[in-house]
Structure 1
Amino acid sequence: MTATTAAATFTVRRGQGTPAPALPPFGQFINGAFVPPCSAETADVENPATGEILMQVPSGSVEDVDAAVAAAVAAKADWAARTPKDRSSLLLRIADIMEANRALLEALEAANTGKPAAVAEDDISSAIDTFRFSAGAARTFSTPGAGDYAENHTSVILREPVGVVGVITPWNYPLLMAAWKIAPILAAGNTMVLKPSEQTPLTTLKLAELIASEVPAGVLNIVTGPGRIVGNRISEHPDVDLVAITGSVGSGQKVAAGAAGTVKRVHLELGGKAPVVIFDDADLAAAAKGVREAGYWNGGQECGAACRVLVHESVAEKFTELLVREVSEISVGAPGAGDDVEIGSMISGAHYERVLAALEDVRKDGLTIAVGGHALAGPGYFIEPTVVTNVPAGAPITSTEIFGPVVSVETFSTDEEAVTRANETVYGLAASVWTTNSARSLSVPRKLDFGTVWVNSHLVIANEMPWGGFKGSGYGRDLSVYALEDFSRTKHVMYNHG
């Protein structure tokens, strides 16, 4: 593949006079109210687009978690006894409250994450729809019919809540990932204790403030603080019946290890390195636009991002030209800089340095940076959208989750090679196939070892369909009725009528 380079000039557009976001109260949200933390320690919460400190939140302690779990335990019997209709009605009220406060939540999410307007708006819209879907699913959740499967004995399957669910959410989609957990967990009749990322807790706390008068005390509890303290205690707590995390593979391993001591169930939605397999008969212009959208969405800070392109060698040069042209036109900006901004900042100074270090490794490996590849000047943690080309099979970039605005391009010769190479990763979250051949569009997805495979699109998500991975990307499913199944248990009751 011939190297293709572009002399694109990226600058950061800045918002003018962006109003200060409405911040949540200080404290831990336990038993229906914000309460003083057990420790005096606090953590700064930063606006990564400017470097400003937005506010401080408590650095939670084991005692904070214990108080939250005690509140969830006290509330679980009453909440589990509610009818599906009652739980559904509450979830619909939460969705309506979020809709009424949409602008507030979007502004706060953008300020805490550096997201551009389009991403923040999509996050809040998707979170609202998650609650509405789960409200409906709560009322249609069914089990196999009763029947006689042994002579003179009638069997009935009861669907029950798990009990108290501990949740750990990530920094890349703070409110949306909280919604992905809160909605089905409550719909299934559980109570919960949630730890948001210490970097991005503000919209989750704000949601708690907005819905505090609607949710029964103790049903939803939120404890802020570091994973090594708050997350570990949630994972190992004997009164937590299941622990669910969206995060890195390393974080998932720690949660699973902590949960093993009490033999509790775990629900792991972990990292990804999504291959984008582009065959010689693909619509190359559409594929390039698809990678532009799905590879750089949320600045590439997305576990399903279209970050690893495998393109047939016969069309690689043409596709690369199209992709570089598309990426050269991407607009970079801070929140409030305009609705057309596509990429915001990295989430923190530490993550910014990690992405830049990965780009330096790319240079050391002798790979071609066709466009981008550098930090952007000014306040905040901005990095140019980047395309890396001439990537050989087995190069570190093909398997390392950079989690930034970086897409790599490698080539393949045969369908079998494409499938083998795509599957050569510890991750198994998502992939896409680009082809106009109907037989190939049916056969190749079946051979790819990923929980979601798109054909001629990438990163399109529907609340009705499950999301989750294989292999190192974890197990358990978010979204859809499968999420309610994950957060419930079945009990067989058999009646002797002989």
Structure 2
Amino acid sequence: MTTAEKTLFTVLRAETPPVPALPPVGQFIGGKFVPSTSSETADVVNPATEGILMQVPAGTVEDVDAAVAAAVAAKAAWAATTPRDRSAVLLKIADVIEANRETFETLEAANTGKPAAVAEDDISSAIDTFRFSAGAARAYSTLGADDYAENHTSVIHREPVGVVGVITPWNYPLLMAAWKIAPVLGAGNTLVLKPSEQTPLTTLKLAELIAAEVPAGVINIVTGPGRVVGNRLSEHPGVDLVAITGSVGSGQKVAASAAASVKRVHLELGGKAPFVVFDDADLEAAAKGVRSAGFWNGGQECGAACRVLVHESVAEKFTELLVREISDITIGAPGAGEAEIGSMISKAHYERVLAALDDVRRDGLTIAVGGNAIDGPGYFIEPTVVTKVPAGAPITSNEIFGPVVSVETFSTDEEAVTRANETIYGLAASVWTRDSARSLTVPRKLDFGTVWVNSHLVIATEMPWGGFKGSGYGRDLSSYALDDFSRTKHVMYNRC
């Protein structure tokens, strides 16, 4: 394992970390917190200090069964509500988060090690997600009722699928919960949600604060390990659809388990986003783009700009600008002042990222800046740029999910497209060029669900987010998310 070395970066640490308002202990089932059927617990750690924040139940199959039973009991009444009524509930949830913004930001930062700017953006985006879904729930559009066969009138009904099992990741705990809860409820479903066992606190806090606003059983939350809680949700006969944001491996397990009962799945999985810089690009803007989009949330982001492909004629200049940008990044713990990146989420993930950097060194690649652990408490790693990466090197395809960006070169537009597409992932990519024709043609050739031109990692709630290939299928955000969590029924009336 890489040993800690004296860092060249500015590192900010909080002498007295902010104390978050912790949620109740228990499983949230049927509108209230109840004891788990297991006495086992899991530590929830502040990764910036390595201190234990609290312990939460290590849930059981029985806990999941109770939560699903509550969701099943509530689904008919919730499905019968009008879009206006469901919209009002979603708007109330948004208002509750807004009114408790500081509580959520402090708790999220403490549980994840995020700097203040990232935590604030997460909470703002969660609020916006609920407000958008509230409007989208009232604005479904579908094929108009009409005669499509002689003497027969067809009507399309859009219905909720029923009970949705939701599995959320550790990198954006409240935001990813919002991305699922808002459209799931907006479409008229009930749900059982399993947050990451590492970062369940803001999701549990949300349940505490909205318990009086949402009918009992509509939202249920069970904490516990994926191999128990997640697996039971995936296989449970009372669950009609399973939605997960997570790794490719986790998505494969969910899909395989769900297949036994032929239930639908919604998969938002990993990514290895290419950031393609052509010879006519604004190189300074592109370098700043990598700084913001490659290292946002410490690179623990499935759409991060982690794989730069730059035209060989401008590679030297671009790399110089990039190294200068990354060398200026400030690292910090929550509450320590202005910082761009925080800690890795856990000791285990910290060690995985450092092991990946050991592999980079063994492969003989050049680390232009960073590459080391940072001494002291917390799971901090320097922002890192790996240069002179040859085609096909492991770092071009392996998702490190940390503050590590690789730089490789290409010669022609065709090579850039081919190399960008040579990955199992298909979540996001970006193209940097001043050529208007290229800006139109290249994105169409890239096999990714989102392609930015001269920007990266800019997300609008009104637009869909989701991938192709190994990055999964299904769409979060936008009205497409409500489509994914509903089903269509055709009713045809014989008028003779």
Give the TM-score of the pair, scaled to structure 2.
0.98
- The residue type paired with residue 114 of structure 1 is G
What residue number does 1:278 align with? 277
- The residue type paired with residue 229 of structure 1 is V
Task: Give deviations 1:242-276, integer Å, cap 9, x for gaps.
Answer: 00000000000000001000000000000000000
Superposition pairs of residues 146-185 of structure 1, within 5 angstroms: 146-185=145-184
Partner Cα separation in structure 2 for residue 110 and residue 8 of structure 1: 23
Q: Find the partner of 1:365 among 357, 363, 366.
A: 363
What residue number does 2:3 align with? none
Superposition pairs of residues 156-305 of structure 1, within 5 angstroms: 156-305=155-304
Q: Find the partner of 2:472 among 468, 471, 474.
A: 474
Q: Is the 8 A contact 2:195 2:203 kept in 1?
A: yes
- Ranges of 4+ aligned residues in structure 1 off by more than 4 Å: none
Per mean C-alpha deviation after superposition, the further-off stretch among 8-17 and 316-325 is: 8-17
What residue number does 1:4 align with? none
Secondary structure, aligned partner of 2:14: coil
Q: Is the 8 A contact 1:194 1:223 kept in 2?
A: yes
Partner Cα separation in structure 2 for residue 448 and residue 427 of structure 1: 11
- The residue type paired with residue 407 of structure 1 is V
Q: CA shift at 1:141, angstroms?
A: 1.2
Q: CA shift at 1:471, angstroms?
A: 0.1
What residue number does 1:353 align with? 351
Change (3 A) 1:345 1:421: same
Partner Cα separation in structure 1 for residue 488 and residue 293 of structure 2: 38
What residue number does 1:62 align with? 61
Change (3 A) 1:314 1:8: farther
Q: CA shift at 1:11, angstroms?
A: 4.3
- The residue type paired with residue 406 of structure 1 is V
Task: Give deviations 1:151-178, integer Å, cap 9, x for gaps.
Answer: 1100000000000000000000000000
| Residue 421 (1) aligns with residue 419 (2) | yes
Partner Cα separation in structure 2 for residue 82 and residue 157 of structure 1: 18
Q: Is the 8 A contact 1:26 1:34 kept in 2?
A: yes
Partner Cα separation in structure 1 for residue 143 and residue 131 of structure 2: 25
| Residue 374 (1) aligns with residue 382 (2) | no
Q: CA shift at 1:306, angstroms?
A: 0.2
What residue number does 1:328 align with? 327
| Residue 50 (1) aligns with residue 49 (2) | yes
- The residue type paired with residue 238 of structure 2 is D
Partner Cα separation in structure 2 for residue 432 and residue 142 of structure 1: 31
Secondary structure, aligned partner of 1:492: strand
What residue number does 2:435 align with? 437
Partner Cα separation in structure 2 for residue 482 and residue 16 of structure 1: 45
Partner Cα separation in structure 2 for residue 143 and residue 67 of structure 1: 36
Task: Give deviations 1:310-340, integer Å, cap 9, x for gaps.
Answer: 00000000000000000000000000011x2
Q: CA shift at 1:103, angstroms?
A: 0.2
Q: CA shift at 1:12, angstroms?
A: 2.5
Partner Cα separation in structure 2 for residue 45 and residue 70 of structure 1: 27
Partner Cα separation in structure 1 for residue 57 and residue 427 of structure 2: 33
Q: CA shift at 1:469, angstroms?
A: 0.1
Partner Cα separation in structure 2 for residue 132 and residue 152 of structure 1: 42
Secondary structure, aligned partner of 1:411: strand
Task: Give deviations 1:400-456, integer Å, cap 9, x for gaps.
Answer: 000000000000000000000000000000000000000000000000000000000
Q: CA shift at 1:17, angstroms?
A: 2.6
Q: Is the 8 A contact 2:426 2:449 kept in 1?
A: yes
Q: CA shift at 1:142, angstroms?
A: 2.0
Q: CA shift at 1:8, angstroms?
A: 7.0
Secondary structure, aligned partner of 2:295: helix
Task: Give deviations 1:289-320, integer Å, cap 9, x for gaps.
Answer: 00000000000000000000000000000000
Q: Is the 8 A contact 2:366 2:388 kept in 1?
A: yes
Q: Structure 2 unaligned segments of length 5 or more: list them.
A: 1-5
What residue number does 1:384 align with? 382
Superposition pairs of residues 394-413 of structure 1, within 5 angstroms: 394-413=392-411
| Residue 91 (1) aligns with residue 90 (2) | yes
Q: CA shift at 1:10, angstroms?
A: 1.8
Q: CA shift at 1:42, angstroms?
A: 0.4
Secondary structure, aligned partner of 1:198: coil
Q: Is the 8 A contact 1:164 1:240 kept in 2?
A: yes
Q: CA shift at 1:37, angstroms?
A: 0.3
Q: Find the partner of 1:343 among 341, 349, 358.
A: 341
What residue number does 1:24 align with? 23
Partner Cα separation in structure 2 for residue 273 and residue 18 of structure 1: 33
Superposition pairs of residues 3-42 of structure 1, within 5 angstroms: 9-42=8-41
Q: CA shift at 1:114, angstroms?
A: 0.1
The alignment's C-alpha RMSD in Å is 0.7
- The residue type paired with residue 140 of structure 1 is A
Q: CA shift at 1:16, angstroms?
A: 3.2
Secondary structure, aligned partner of 1:16: coil
Q: Find the partner of 1:454 among 427, 452, 455.
A: 452
What residue number does 1:317 align with? 316
- The residue type paired with residue 451 of structure 2 is V
How many matched pairs? 491
Secondary structure, aligned partner of 1:397: helix
Partner Cα separation in structure 2 for residue 466 and residue 386 of structure 1: 30
Partner Cα separation in structure 2 for residue 348 and residue 376 of structure 1: 14
What residue number does 2:481 align with? 483
Partner Cα separation in structure 2 for residue 311 and residue 12 of structure 1: 30
Q: Is the 8 A contact 2:200 2:223 kept in 1?
A: yes
Partner Cα separation in structure 2 for residue 426 and residue 58 of structure 1: 36
Q: Is the 8 A contact 1:331 1:341 kept in 2?
A: yes
Per mean C-alpha deviation after superposition, the further-off stretch among 221-230 and 11-20 is: 11-20
- The residue type paired with residue 474 of structure 2 is G
Q: Is the 8 A contact 1:115 1:344 kept in 2?
A: yes
Aligned-residue identity in percent: 85
Secondary structure, aligned partner of 2:191: strand
Secondary structure, aligned partner of 1:139: coil
Q: Is the 8 A contact 1:232 1:255 kept in 2?
A: yes
What residue number does 2:75 align with? 76
What residue number does 1:3 align with? none
Q: Is the 8 A contact 1:184 1:483 kept in 2?
A: yes
Give the TM-score of the pair, scaled to structure 1.
0.98
